[in-house]
Amino acid sequence: MNGSVSGNFISNVSVNKNLTSLDGGIESLSQLYNLFYENADPRMRDRFLMGKPHWIILFYIIYVVIITRILPNFMKNRKPYDFQKLSLYIDALLLFIACYFFVITTYSWLFLFNWRCEVIDRSNSWTSRMAVEFCWQYLMTRFIYTLHSVPFVLSKRKSSLANYLIIHHAVFPVMVWSFINVYPGGHITFGGWINSMTHVGLFGIKFVILYNPSVKKYRRQFHVFIHVFQFTSIIIHSLQMFIWNDCGVPMYLVWMEVIYALIIASFYYIFVIHKSDPILSQ
Protein backbone atom coordinates (compact mmCIF):
# COMPACT_ATOMS: atom_id res chain seq x y z
CA MET A 1 0.00 0.00 0.00
CA ASN A 2 2.72 2.43 1.05
CA GLY A 3 4.75 1.38 -1.99
CA SER A 4 1.78 2.11 -4.22
CA VAL A 5 1.24 5.54 -2.66
CA SER A 6 4.95 6.29 -2.88
CA GLY A 7 5.00 5.20 -6.52
CA ASN A 8 2.00 7.36 -7.36
CA PHE A 9 3.59 10.33 -5.58
CA ILE A 10 6.85 9.95 -7.52
CA SER A 11 4.90 9.51 -10.74
CA ASN A 12 2.87 12.67 -10.08
CA VAL A 13 6.01 14.65 -9.23
CA SER A 14 7.62 13.43 -12.46
CA VAL A 15 4.56 14.41 -14.51
CA ASN A 16 4.42 17.82 -12.84
CA LYS A 17 8.10 18.39 -13.59
CA ASN A 18 7.56 17.40 -17.22
CA LEU A 19 4.56 19.72 -17.50
CA THR A 20 6.54 22.54 -15.88
CA SER A 21 9.40 21.91 -18.28
CA LEU A 22 6.99 21.84 -21.23
CA ASP A 23 5.28 25.04 -20.10
CA GLY A 24 8.68 26.66 -19.70
CA GLY A 25 9.69 25.57 -23.19
CA ILE A 26 6.46 26.87 -24.72
CA GLU A 27 6.84 30.14 -22.81
CA SER A 28 10.43 30.50 -24.05
CA LEU A 29 9.34 29.90 -27.64
CA SER A 30 6.53 32.41 -27.20
CA GLN A 31 8.98 34.98 -25.83
CA LEU A 32 11.39 34.34 -28.69
CA TYR A 33 8.52 34.65 -31.18
CA ASN A 34 7.38 37.97 -29.71
CA LEU A 35 10.97 39.20 -29.48
CA PHE A 36 11.26 39.23 -33.26
CA TYR A 37 8.17 41.41 -33.58
CA GLU A 38 8.96 43.74 -30.68
CA ASN A 39 12.49 44.38 -31.95
CA ALA A 40 11.45 44.65 -35.59
CA ASP A 41 12.40 47.87 -37.33
CA PRO A 42 9.16 49.92 -37.71
CA ARG A 43 10.00 50.56 -41.36
CA MET A 44 10.22 46.81 -42.00
CA ARG A 45 7.57 45.42 -39.66
CA ASP A 46 4.53 45.85 -41.93
CA ARG A 47 6.16 44.68 -45.14
CA PHE A 48 5.23 41.38 -46.78
CA LEU A 49 6.55 38.39 -44.75
CA MET A 50 8.16 40.67 -42.16
CA GLY A 51 7.38 41.36 -38.49
CA LYS A 52 6.50 38.03 -36.90
CA PRO A 53 8.43 34.96 -38.06
CA HIS A 54 5.58 32.52 -38.76
CA TRP A 55 5.56 33.14 -42.54
CA ILE A 56 9.29 32.60 -42.98
CA ILE A 57 9.11 29.45 -40.85
CA LEU A 58 6.20 28.22 -42.98
CA PHE A 59 8.26 28.81 -46.13
CA TYR A 60 11.12 26.82 -44.64
CA ILE A 61 8.86 23.87 -43.85
CA ILE A 62 7.13 23.93 -47.27
CA TYR A 63 10.44 24.14 -49.15
CA VAL A 64 12.02 21.25 -47.24
CA VAL A 65 8.93 19.05 -47.63
CA ILE A 66 8.67 19.74 -51.39
CA ILE A 67 12.38 19.21 -52.13
CA THR A 68 13.00 16.22 -49.86
CA ARG A 69 9.63 14.44 -49.98
CA ILE A 70 7.08 15.51 -52.59
CA LEU A 71 9.35 15.88 -55.65
CA PRO A 72 11.45 12.75 -54.96
CA ASN A 73 8.26 10.69 -54.52
CA PHE A 74 6.85 12.23 -57.71
CA MET A 75 9.99 11.19 -59.60
CA LYS A 76 10.25 7.73 -58.03
CA ASN A 77 8.88 5.78 -61.02
CA ARG A 78 9.54 8.37 -63.69
CA LYS A 79 12.42 8.93 -66.03
CA PRO A 80 14.59 11.96 -65.26
CA TYR A 81 13.63 15.16 -67.03
CA ASP A 82 16.06 17.04 -69.24
CA PHE A 83 16.35 20.51 -67.74
CA GLN A 84 19.45 21.78 -69.49
CA LYS A 85 17.67 24.65 -71.25
CA LEU A 86 15.47 25.47 -68.25
CA SER A 87 18.52 25.43 -65.97
CA LEU A 88 20.21 27.88 -68.32
CA TYR A 89 17.25 30.28 -68.10
CA ILE A 90 17.19 29.96 -64.31
CA ASP A 91 20.93 30.63 -64.15
CA ALA A 92 20.50 33.72 -66.35
CA LEU A 93 17.75 35.04 -64.05
CA LEU A 94 19.82 34.41 -60.93
CA LEU A 95 22.87 36.04 -62.54
CA PHE A 96 20.81 39.14 -63.32
CA ILE A 97 19.56 39.31 -59.72
CA ALA A 98 23.10 38.87 -58.37
CA CYS A 99 24.44 41.63 -60.65
CA TYR A 100 21.64 43.97 -59.54
CA PHE A 101 22.49 43.63 -55.85
CA PHE A 102 26.24 43.51 -56.48
CA VAL A 103 26.18 46.90 -58.21
CA ILE A 104 24.11 48.49 -55.42
CA THR A 105 26.14 47.06 -52.54
CA THR A 106 29.49 47.66 -54.24
CA TYR A 107 28.75 51.37 -54.56
CA SER A 108 27.66 51.49 -50.91
CA TRP A 109 30.67 49.65 -49.50
CA LEU A 110 33.29 51.31 -51.68
CA PHE A 111 32.07 54.90 -51.44
CA LEU A 112 29.59 55.30 -48.57
CA PHE A 113 30.14 52.80 -45.76
CA ASN A 114 32.78 52.38 -43.06
CA TRP A 115 34.38 48.96 -43.61
CA ARG A 116 35.05 48.43 -39.92
CA CYS A 117 31.65 49.30 -38.47
CA GLU A 118 28.77 50.93 -40.34
CA VAL A 119 25.98 52.56 -38.33
CA ILE A 120 22.45 51.92 -39.57
CA ASP A 121 20.51 55.00 -40.64
CA ARG A 122 17.08 54.85 -38.97
CA SER A 123 15.95 58.27 -40.16
CA ASN A 124 13.30 58.88 -42.79
CA SER A 125 15.81 60.06 -45.38
CA TRP A 126 15.74 58.84 -48.98
CA THR A 127 18.92 56.79 -48.56
CA SER A 128 17.55 55.17 -45.41
CA ARG A 129 14.27 54.24 -47.11
CA MET A 130 16.16 52.82 -50.10
CA ALA A 131 18.36 50.73 -47.80
CA VAL A 132 15.23 49.20 -46.24
CA GLU A 133 13.75 48.64 -49.71
CA PHE A 134 16.87 46.91 -51.03
CA CYS A 135 17.14 44.71 -47.92
CA TRP A 136 13.53 43.59 -48.37
CA GLN A 137 14.08 43.00 -52.11
CA TYR A 138 17.15 40.93 -51.27
CA LEU A 139 15.07 38.67 -49.04
CA MET A 140 12.32 38.30 -51.65
CA THR A 141 14.83 37.24 -54.30
CA ARG A 142 16.20 34.54 -51.97
CA PHE A 143 12.93 32.70 -52.60
CA ILE A 144 13.62 32.84 -56.34
CA TYR A 145 17.03 31.30 -55.69
CA THR A 146 15.34 28.18 -54.35
CA LEU A 147 14.43 27.38 -57.99
CA HIS A 148 18.08 26.45 -58.45
CA SER A 149 17.50 23.24 -56.47
CA VAL A 150 14.47 22.01 -58.44
CA PRO A 151 16.24 20.82 -61.65
CA PHE A 152 18.62 18.72 -59.55
CA VAL A 153 15.69 16.79 -58.08
CA LEU A 154 13.60 16.45 -61.26
CA SER A 155 16.59 15.36 -63.34
CA LYS A 156 17.61 12.80 -60.67
CA ARG A 157 21.17 14.01 -60.66
CA LYS A 158 23.05 12.29 -57.85
CA SER A 159 25.09 15.15 -56.52
CA SER A 160 26.53 16.17 -53.18
CA LEU A 161 26.44 19.74 -54.50
CA ALA A 162 22.64 19.42 -54.72
CA ASN A 163 22.54 18.41 -51.04
CA TYR A 164 24.58 21.48 -50.14
CA LEU A 165 22.31 23.76 -52.20
CA ILE A 166 19.16 22.36 -50.59
CA ILE A 167 20.54 23.06 -47.10
CA HIS A 168 21.78 26.51 -48.10
CA HIS A 169 18.55 27.55 -49.83
CA ALA A 170 16.45 26.33 -46.91
CA VAL A 171 18.36 28.09 -44.15
CA PHE A 172 19.69 31.25 -45.83
CA PRO A 173 16.30 33.05 -46.27
CA VAL A 174 15.58 32.46 -42.57
CA MET A 175 18.94 33.99 -41.64
CA VAL A 176 18.42 36.99 -43.94
CA TRP A 177 14.95 37.53 -42.45
CA SER A 178 16.39 37.46 -38.92
CA PHE A 179 18.94 40.13 -39.82
CA ILE A 180 16.91 42.61 -41.84
CA ASN A 181 13.81 42.36 -39.65
CA VAL A 182 15.65 44.20 -36.87
CA TYR A 183 18.63 45.76 -38.68
CA PRO A 184 17.74 46.62 -42.31
CA GLY A 185 20.93 48.23 -43.58
CA GLY A 186 24.32 49.30 -42.34
CA HIS A 187 26.92 46.79 -41.20
CA ILE A 188 25.05 43.55 -41.94
CA THR A 189 24.78 44.33 -45.67
CA PHE A 190 28.44 43.34 -46.02
CA GLY A 191 27.36 39.69 -46.10
CA GLY A 192 24.85 40.46 -48.86
CA TRP A 193 27.57 42.21 -50.85
CA ILE A 194 29.99 39.29 -50.64
CA ASN A 195 27.19 36.80 -51.33
CA SER A 196 26.10 38.73 -54.44
CA MET A 197 29.72 38.89 -55.62
CA THR A 198 29.97 35.11 -55.16
CA HIS A 199 26.81 34.46 -57.17
CA VAL A 200 27.98 36.74 -59.99
CA GLY A 201 31.10 34.60 -60.22
CA LEU A 202 29.36 31.22 -59.88
CA PHE A 203 26.64 31.88 -62.46
CA GLY A 204 28.86 34.01 -64.66
CA ILE A 205 31.45 31.28 -65.19
CA LYS A 206 28.73 28.97 -66.53
CA PHE A 207 28.09 31.37 -69.41
CA VAL A 208 31.80 31.94 -69.93
CA ILE A 209 32.16 28.17 -70.39
CA LEU A 210 29.39 28.20 -73.02
CA TYR A 211 31.44 30.58 -75.17
CA ASN A 212 34.85 29.21 -74.22
CA PRO A 213 34.67 25.50 -73.27
CA SER A 214 38.40 25.42 -72.50
CA VAL A 215 37.65 27.30 -69.26
CA LYS A 216 35.66 24.29 -68.00
CA LYS A 217 38.79 22.60 -66.62
CA TYR A 218 39.18 25.46 -64.14
CA ARG A 219 35.57 25.42 -62.97
CA ARG A 220 36.13 23.33 -59.85
CA GLN A 221 39.11 25.40 -58.68
CA PHE A 222 37.18 28.62 -59.25
CA HIS A 223 34.10 27.25 -57.47
CA VAL A 224 36.13 26.29 -54.40
CA PHE A 225 38.16 29.52 -54.38
CA ILE A 226 35.18 31.86 -54.52
CA HIS A 227 33.35 29.97 -51.75
CA VAL A 228 36.42 29.99 -49.51
CA PHE A 229 36.77 33.72 -50.21
CA GLN A 230 33.12 34.27 -49.28
CA PHE A 231 33.25 32.33 -46.01
CA THR A 232 36.59 33.83 -44.96
CA SER A 233 35.57 37.43 -45.73
CA ILE A 234 32.27 37.22 -43.85
CA ILE A 235 33.76 35.44 -40.82
CA ILE A 236 36.70 37.87 -40.48
CA HIS A 237 34.44 40.91 -40.96
CA SER A 238 32.12 39.59 -38.25
CA LEU A 239 34.81 38.51 -35.78
CA GLN A 240 36.35 41.98 -35.65
CA MET A 241 33.08 43.16 -34.10
CA PHE A 242 34.05 41.30 -30.92
CA ILE A 243 37.03 43.66 -30.58
CA TRP A 244 35.21 46.92 -31.31
CA ASN A 245 31.56 47.59 -31.93
CA ASP A 246 30.94 51.31 -31.92
CA CYS A 247 28.08 51.30 -34.43
CA GLY A 248 25.43 49.58 -32.33
CA VAL A 249 25.17 46.28 -34.21
CA PRO A 250 23.31 43.76 -31.98
CA MET A 251 25.91 41.19 -30.94
CA TYR A 252 23.45 38.31 -31.21
CA LEU A 253 23.25 39.06 -34.95
CA VAL A 254 27.05 38.93 -35.15
CA TRP A 255 27.04 35.57 -33.35
CA MET A 256 24.37 34.27 -35.71
CA GLU A 257 26.35 35.36 -38.77
CA VAL A 258 29.59 33.76 -37.56
CA ILE A 259 27.93 30.49 -36.55
CA TYR A 260 25.93 30.29 -39.79
CA ALA A 261 29.02 30.95 -41.93
CA LEU A 262 31.00 28.29 -40.06
CA ILE A 263 28.20 25.72 -40.40
CA ILE A 264 27.64 26.37 -44.11
CA ALA A 265 31.40 26.32 -44.72
CA SER A 266 31.52 22.93 -43.00
CA PHE A 267 28.68 21.62 -45.17
CA TYR A 268 30.46 22.94 -48.27
CA TYR A 269 33.62 21.08 -47.29
CA ILE A 270 31.73 17.85 -46.54
CA PHE A 271 29.42 17.83 -49.57
CA VAL A 272 31.55 19.51 -52.24
CA ILE A 273 35.28 19.57 -51.48
CA HIS A 274 35.65 16.29 -49.59
CA LYS A 275 33.37 14.31 -51.93
CA SER A 276 34.76 15.98 -55.07
CA ASP A 277 31.37 16.54 -56.69
CA PRO A 278 31.35 15.33 -60.33
CA ILE A 279 29.07 18.17 -61.53
CA LEU A 280 31.94 20.63 -61.13
CA SER A 281 34.00 18.52 -63.50
CA GLN A 282 31.36 18.34 -66.22
User: Across residues 216-239, what is the average pLDDT?
Assistant: 90
Name residue 20's amino acid: T
Identify the pLDDT of residue 201: 95
Residues written for the chain:
282
Query: Rounded to an integer, what distance in angstroms lies between the CA atom of residue 119 and that of residue 241?
Result: 13
**Between the CA of residue 36 and those of 44, 183, 230, what are the distances in Å?**
12, 11, 28
Instruction: State yes or no: pLDDT of 137 exceeds 90.
Output: yes
What is the reported pTM? Answer: 0.83
Domain boundaries, the chain: 1-38, 42-281
Query: Rounded to an integer, what distance in angstroms lies between the CA atom of residue 10 and that of residue 46?
Result: 50
Identify the pLDDT of residue 16: 43
Query: Rounded to an integer, what distance in angstroms lies between the CA atom of residue 228 and that of residue 233?
Result: 8
Identify the pLDDT of residue 92: 94
Chain mean position to CA 65: 17
Instruction: State yes or no: pLDDT of 59 exceeds 90.
Output: no
Query: Rounded to an integer, what distance in angstroms lies between the CA atom of residue 54 and that of residue 56?
Result: 6
CB 53 within 8 A of CB 177: yes
DSSP string of 40-70, one letter each residue: S-HHHHTSTT-SSTHHHHHHHHHHHHIIIII
Predicted confidence (pLDDT) per residue in 182-220, tens digit: 999 999 999 999 999 999 999 999 999 988 888 888 888
CB 247 within 8 A of CB 117: yes
